[in-house]
Structure 1
């Protein structure tokens, strides 16, 4: 478990200076248990807001091997405070403030064979056996444990005097806090550690590549650029007592990330992996300084002031962009930040009624521009849109990642419901990668939240990979997410009743005509050890009323019955800067079409310049083509086609999804 920064008074001061005030529960929350009755209206439009869902959002840290294999988990992270100072050569880590700043060698079968067979190697091998990609955390801090495989203390009692807390299994290892509550300073980092820079990291990456192949050939795919460097001055203060500055983060990232890319060009990097809210705007140095000084420091922290007043996250991304411009190499692939709810008792095992309610509504902090965080933060967080806006403004093309998060109580049903809501949010908001900290046990509700997205029927069936528009008139009470599955074009709809009581909710799915039958899978508090396959749900012209038990996750799986068309897009010719293409529309439904309009979005930068046999308009990446009257009718089983010419500059990738008269079509 990660330790969150303390010093609440100083952090509260930060929130007040920034203009935010903590608020109580929204009035709507008072009606959460209102319950055995009418719920919100749910709507799904398979033709709208379509975008890919990255499967990498369904990852974990230190996943259980059996659960990892069952779920075909996409990514698994070796992370946390102990990985900041890990020596792969001796399989020894320093546990930092998590456990008395001690070097602790791992128990391995054959220490003489190291580095072969280390716990890091075992981690990679576990992932490879499950077909899971590894995220390996590498050090930027500049220190790793000494070569000797022995227990060593960062704050020896014999050397630095009495301390407030002592390791119960080693009377010489203290917590670095003197009896009067002050931090012990001036200790010697070489008591436990030796310097280790970019060469050390490059050696580890080479070792992993030699042993398992490079990132392009089944080896370690991802490298996290350390862990929460902006609180090293707390978590690793025995070797890094001063907060990391803007310039330090730039220099160490340049050195280490470029060494990784030079050693394994296909590897992907993630950074700066800050601890949370303050990490977006403040360096570690500013967090340390303003935690001490308080007051006006938060309004104008010195390290930020020395860098043009630019927030740390924006400045960091700008420096990564500058490196690529200067050297022609991208050294940062994912902008990574950790997000833990700061509301009282959420991240933990608290499970009283008030905490349950707060836990379930606070997921809105991941996306909702109208939600004021109910903690010392006291302002709008909208974590994922904020991260995406930062990358777009400062380093376009950089993906977004959250390599640690946890909303608590994964062994309780409300924690599982919150986890399911979070996974739905990740997909809808377009996050690229996420790994849950503190993964659930196999039979915990939190594990079933993952099953509902990755293996709801026990046979590997998963939630769709193309997000579509889904809306609830009260997301706090009942959340809804929807996606189309590319393998069979089925529409999957995830409905999450966040209320403890049962509700009924009307659902409408646009584009469905006549009677449709949806498969129904459900998990909830009635049976927390199984996903139930219920009787099919009938929809009439896309409408149905759902009966949702309290604290439940219901997944509807709709076959593409309403998708009575096939669109085939053919690039007839392509040359530098230009192309011609043809589109064929086939009516596979049971009624004739009297007029037609087909729409698509270009993934590239194509621009249509002229067309024949259709009226074609374009707005940004969106293209609309409609009939010319003489070819308006398409009979049952019939088809029509049209063509056009266009230009492109850097990307001529063809479209992958089409709608005909508002209905998604199969792609020919």
Structure 2
């Protein structure tokens, strides 16, 4: 009773400040969370990072041959052995070539982490460890070795220490020799193209005293990237490692920036990406995998103190610190008036450069425009407050942002701290026994982003377990949060773990056992981070029908975008997304469409050839259909010249080709006008701004005016319309339309633009191209009105900008000329024939040919071989290369087929070396027995007894298809196929009645339930701890739990092979 009263008093004393609603939808916005966002530069006590970066100022002057480096202006320009000393390498070993690199990477391997290593690009590295380098000894001088990217002679594992050169290809080759290629389990994950090159004259004036130019950076970067890809094609290349914002904008006022910049380039990042893509296209391979940047926030407290310090933790700074992550993603968290701070963080970036905020969407826009497919990394970042709750909150928020917004890799810079460790572990080890946040991000929204950010995830594509991380960054008050969840699973309960301002230790909090209709309410204490783990039972769902065969152009050009359509229905009436496999190694997913509606997606091929397109349908509960029939497209070897355009509105000249424009708006308080404050290209754009009133809200801009049918435009010669649009705000349910109207049929047809914008479209310029084929019923030869508008505004306001509207002329790709030959062989020769439709044997690339096997008297068709398989007498083959097909017939009077059994069963779990026995009962001779795994033949046996040894360690854990093919003396084949589960990571199991597992539930006083753990001889020691980590009991043979109170405990089982297994014990009494 005493405890109950105490808890009641605590509740009374706690002030609840607000009610916040969090909405989760596990079926929407699913995207993988990169495992590499939980990385570090400096090791952090109590944290197992997923990636470690060997970088920073010291690495610019690092000499891998002798392990000396130069501190630059950080420490008296000293050349010394700081790096091996810092890594803990014994002094006697510090001159071993490359030992700093191998030591670092071996530490990573021991932690189960990837390594990314900095390569030197500034020009010179330390030759000695003799201390300070004077200004007179600036490179080139005897204190330095010159860096060469590529060695003219053979590469050596014992570099020449007296040649005054250090070779980057020799360094990479050394690492490959020691650890294997990047694709191996021990290889180096990636290489960084030096560090903060725009600051070389300031950090390393003895190495590179002159200001680097944009041209120099590109030349050095692409050359070094080429060297990396020549030696390890799959190693990731990271660049350009800028220090911060002004490098993003103008490469720190590089002397040639004004000369190399064009009207396309908003900032230097655009130029850097464009130049890398140009060189990559020239070489026919990707040279830059990851755009890697450094981000140290410039946010300040109201008194002007920057938040990045670890020691500044007063109220004002703490509040600024926990809000600062919003600059990464939140379009509302910035000033609306350049030169003043009306909203957002207190920083010079927000005041003078708000057009580049938020950071992640703006960088992603540059990537999508100038080098699509490039990943984004933050290889240095810090928000300060490492030992304060505000630092823990800020970092937990940042890690959630990185996962939600698709950042590929992130490595924090800074020393260990109790609260920053807690921030990592709330994602990586929330329960102390390896519990992790999920690896698939799902839709999570909050009604109060200022106080309560939220992130949600599931594990893989299964939402049986839902992870929610909720942050209360209100400095003063607890907050009641109502969770509303849409999912395939009916959740029943939740574990809760968290840390707060009282302690950086993550502890288990009051669980949730009152979830009703996937809704519950929970009070989140002030200044805290909570991790909810929800579990429940899954509901049933029917998959969509198989989509119709895709439709679209059958011929095309490289680097041109084409649209393909299909249709499917969902038995449950759910909306459908279409997954297109483009046949070139790329897969993309469409937006959502209603069941039965025509869906579409667009694709751009970068190689020539014949490609097979398939599509499947996925409903909102993630049930999948089968793949559709294939569709064939031929892509010409030529590249389509720039498409000619007919300009309707050009923001550079502020003129229109097609009549004059005019706007309309309701209510009258809304505005439609040309402005110069926002534009895609130079000078002008059209602004549509409207606010809802009690009647309705809409606004639009017309070309050709109202009811002016004498202004006719012939669009029959065009294939699509393109324009650029920037949406700053748009209420829910509002629609942005592009509309055409003809004068013949008086038909108006409008297309909703929003599905064309993709994700993350708020406050960034987006190019939209709509095929004119989407406008059904229009007489394109007599179009008299073009309009862009927004309607359906029933609350709030909308603000958007339109620029660069043009129609694109139709083009005809060059038809394919490639011809392929189909060769047919019959076995036995006189047993039958094969009819071809179409006939001929020589076909244009992409032709579908139907083959029909016809048996002669006394024979029956058995199966196909060569470039065709199966036993159906009628098959289709696609002519995308020369083909040879063998039709196998057998005598109709042959003896019975062999009877085959194998020693594997379907869904059997196997590991190590698995013996597979093949038992055959046959009245005819057996010619050969083949073993396949995943359609690859790995072994042949021709003598009794037929058996195979399958080394499962050569294959990844998971499901694999094992197939046995038995051929008899007549050439007939009998096939046995099973699906097996390879699992080489199964821990040793303990004996009954209760096996060792993640959670052991014991009921010591109920004879009908588990009442003890009996330990097998494999277990050396079994320890039980309480949730605070205090040892409660240690046993060696059995454990019955009778000495423990009801509750949750942690166990560790030490096996005789040295392995330690951890889990939970729940005592029920």
TM-score, normalised relative to structure 2: 0.47
Give, in whole Å, the separation in 2 of the partners of 1:216 and 1:402.
Answer: 23
Instruction: Tell me by how many angstroms 1:193 deviates.
Output: 2.1
Q: What is the Cα deviation at residue 318 of structure 1?
A: 0.9
Q: 1:304 — aligned with what?
A: 258
Q: What are the equivalent positions in structure 2 for 1:448-459 lying under 5 Å apart?
A: 448-459=422-433
User: Distance between the aligned counterparts of 2:569 and 2:90, measured in 1?
Assistant: 63
Q: How much does 1:478 deviate?
A: 0.8
Residue 248 (structure 2) aligns with:
280
Answer yes or no: is 1:242 the counterpart of 2:223: no
Q: Secondary structure at the match of 1:190?
A: coil
Contact 1:454 1:462 survives alignment (8 Å): yes
- Offset, 1:386: 1.5
1 CA distance for matches of 2:547 and 2:189? 33
Query: 1:607: how far off?
Result: 9.8
Map of 2:308 onto structure 1: 347
Which contiguous aligned blocks of 4+ residues in structure 1 show a shift greater than 6 angstroms?
512-515, 568-574, 577-585, 606-609, 621-627, 639-643, 648-651
**1:306 to 1:573, Cα distance in 2 relative to 1, 3 A:** closer
Q: Could you report, residue by residue, the CA deviation over 1:244-280 in whole angstroms, capped at 9, with x for unpaired residues? A: 1111011101221111111211210100010111122
1:352-371 to 2 correspondences below 5 Å: 352-371=314-333
Is 1:463 the equivalent of 2:430? no
Identify if the C-alpha distance between structure 1 residues 523 and 369 changes in structure 2 by more than 3 Å, giving closer, same or farther. Answer: same
Residue of structure 1 equivalent to 2:111: 130
Match of 2:144 in 1: 193
Tell me the secondary structure at the aligned position of residue 241 of structure 2.
Answer: strand
- Name the CA shift for 1:604/1:249 in 2 (closer, same or farther; >3 Å): farther
Counterpart selection for 2:460 from 478, 486, 490 = 486
Q: Establish whether residue 375 from structure 1 lines up as the match of residue 343 from structure 2.
A: no
3-state SS in 1 of match to 2:319: helix
Pairing 1:520-599 to 2, within 5 Å after superposition: 520-559=496-535, 561-565=537-541, 567=543, 595-597=572-574, 599=576
Cα distance in 2 for partners of 1:417, 1:207 equals 42
| Structure-2 change in CA distance of 1:626 and 1:75 (3 Å) | closer
Q: 1:192 to 1:566 in 2, by over 3 A?
A: farther
1:332, distance to aligned residue in structure 2 (A): 0.6
Q: 1:308-353: per-residue Cα shift (whole Å, max 9, x none)?
A: 3533211111111111111112111001111110123211121111
What SS does the aligned partner of 2:512 have? strand
Instruction: Note the C-alpha offset of 1:137.
Output: 0.7
Which residue of structure 2 aligns with residue 617 of structure 1? Answer: 598
Based on CA coordinates, which of the two structures has the bigger radius of gyration? 2
Tell me how far apart the structure 2 counterparts of residues 462 and 356 of structure 1 sit (CA, whole Å).
Answer: 27
Give the whole-Å Cα distance in 1 for the aligned partners of 2:379 and 2:629: 44
Using the TM superposition, give the Cα deviation of residue 99 of structure 1 relative to its aligned residue in structure 2, in angstroms: 0.9
Which residue is equivalent to 2:134?
155
SS at match of 2:445: strand
Alpha-carbon distance in structure 1 between the residues aligned to 2:241 and 2:634: 31
- 1:230 aligned residue (198, 217, 226): 198
- SS at structure 1 position matched to 2:175: helix
Match of 1:37 among 14, 17, 31: 17
Normalized per residue, the structure richer in strand is: 2
Q: In 1, distance between residues paired with 2:492 and 2:405? A: 28
Gaps of 5+ in 2: 1-13, 151-166, 300-304, 335-344, 555-563, 603-614, 636-958, 960-978, 980-1069
Which residue number in structure 2 is paired with residue 256 of structure 1?
224
Shift of the 356–465 alpha-carbon distance from structure 1 to 2, 3 Å rule, reads same
Cα distance in 1, alignment partners of residues 529 and 494 from structure 2: 15
* Number of the residue aligned with 1:59: 39
Residue 602 (structure 1) shift: 2.0
**Residues 396/607 of structure 1: CA separation in 2 closer, same or farther (3 Å cut):** closer
For residues 1-30 of structure 1, give each alpha carbon's deviation from its aligned partner in whole angstroms, at most 9, with x where no partner exists: xxxxxxxxxxxxxxxxxxxxxxxxxxxxxx
| Alignment match, 1:292 | none
Task: Say whether 1:322 aligns with 2:278.
Answer: yes
CA positional deviation for 1:529 = 2.1
- Select which of 375, 382, 388 maps to 1:412: 388
CA contact (8 A) 2:496 2:510 kept: yes
In structure 2, relative to structure 1, the CA distance for the partners of 1:209 and 1:187 (3 Å cut) is closer
Counterpart contact for 1:616–1:626, Cα < 8 Å = no
Q: Residues 40 and 51 of structure 2 are in contact (CA less than 8 Å); yes or no, is this contact kept in structure 1? A: yes
Instruction: Compute the RMSD of aligned alpha carbons.
Output: 3.6
Contact 1:491 1:558 in 2 (8 A): yes
Q: Does the 8 A contact of 1:257 with 1:331 survive in 2?
A: yes
Alpha-carbon distance in 1 for matches of 2:237, 2:51:
14
- Identify if the C-alpha distance between structure 1 residues 537 and 244 changes in structure 2 by more than 3 Å, giving closer, same or farther: farther
What does 1:501-516 correspond to in 2, within 5 Å?
A: 501-511=477-487, 516=492
Cα distance in structure 2, aligned partners of 1:142 and 1:551: 48
Query: Which moved further from structure 2: 118-127 or 528-537?
Result: 528-537
The answer on whether the counterparts of 1:616 and 1:625 sit within 8 Å (CA) in structure 2 is no
Question: CA offset at residue 410 of structure 1?
Answer: 1.5
Kept in 1, the 8 Å contact 2:439–2:458? The answer is yes
Q: Are the counterparts in 2 of residues 506 and 546 from structure 1 also a CA contact under 8 Å?
A: yes
Match of 1:496 among 466, 471, 474: 471
1:351-387 deviations in Å (ceiling 9; x for gaps): 1111101111111111112222421212432111112
1:208 aligns with one of 175, 180, 197: 175
Cα 1:563/1:417, change in 2 over 3 Å: farther
For 1:511 and 1:482, the matched residues in 2 are separated by 12
The answer as to whether partners of 1:583 and 1:643 remain within 8 angstroms in 2 is: no
Q: Given the superposition, is the C-alpha separation of residues 240 and 514 from structure 1 closer, same or farther in structure 2, using an over 3 Å criterion? A: closer
Is 1:120 aligned with 2:101? yes
- Measured in 2, the distance between the counterparts of 1:600 and 1:570 equals 12
Change (3 A) 1:563 1:555: farther
TM-score normalised by structure 1 residue count: 0.74
After superposition, the Cα gap between the structure-2 partners of 1:476 and 1:642, relative to the gap in structure 1 and judged at 3 Å, is same
Q: Secondary structure in 2 aligned to 1:565?
A: coil
For the residue of structure 1 that corresponds to 2:361, the secondary structure is helix
SS of residue matched to 1:122 = helix
Q: RCO (CA 8 Å, sep 6+): is it higher in 1 or 2?
A: 1
Q: Cα offset for 1:580? A: 14
Aligned residues of 1:82 and 1:94 also touching (Cα < 8 A): yes
Question: 1:131-146 maps to which residues of 2 (within 5 A)?
Answer: 131-146=112-127
Cα distance change, pair 189–513 in 1 and its aligned pair in 2 (3 A): closer
Distance 1:581 1:393 in 2: 27
Distance, in Å, in 2 between the alignment partners of 1:569 and 1:595 is 11
Aligned mates of 1:601, 1:650 — CA distance in 2: 22
CA separation in 1, counterparts of 2:125 and 2:413?
23
**What is the deviation of 1:426?**
0.6
CA distance in 2, matches of 1:519, 1:329: 48
> CA shift at 1:453, angstroms?
0.8
Q: Which has the higher helix share?
A: 1
Are the counterparts in 1 of residues 244 and 294 from structure 2 also a CA contact under 8 Å?
yes
Aligned-residue offset at 1:54: 0.9
C-alpha contact (below 8 Å) 2:121/2:194 kept by paired residues:
yes
Distance of 1:112 and 1:45 partners within structure 2: 55
Confirm or deny: 8 A CA contact 1:88 1:115 kept in the other structure: no
Q: How many residues align?
A: 545
Does the CA contact (< 8 Å) of 2:616 and 2:624 recur in 1? no
Query: What whole-Å deviation, never above 9, does each CA across 1:528-569 have from its counterpart, x for those lacking one?
Result: 223325323432112111100111111111225354337599
Q: Secondary structure at the match of 1:430?
A: coil
Shift of 1:598: 5.5
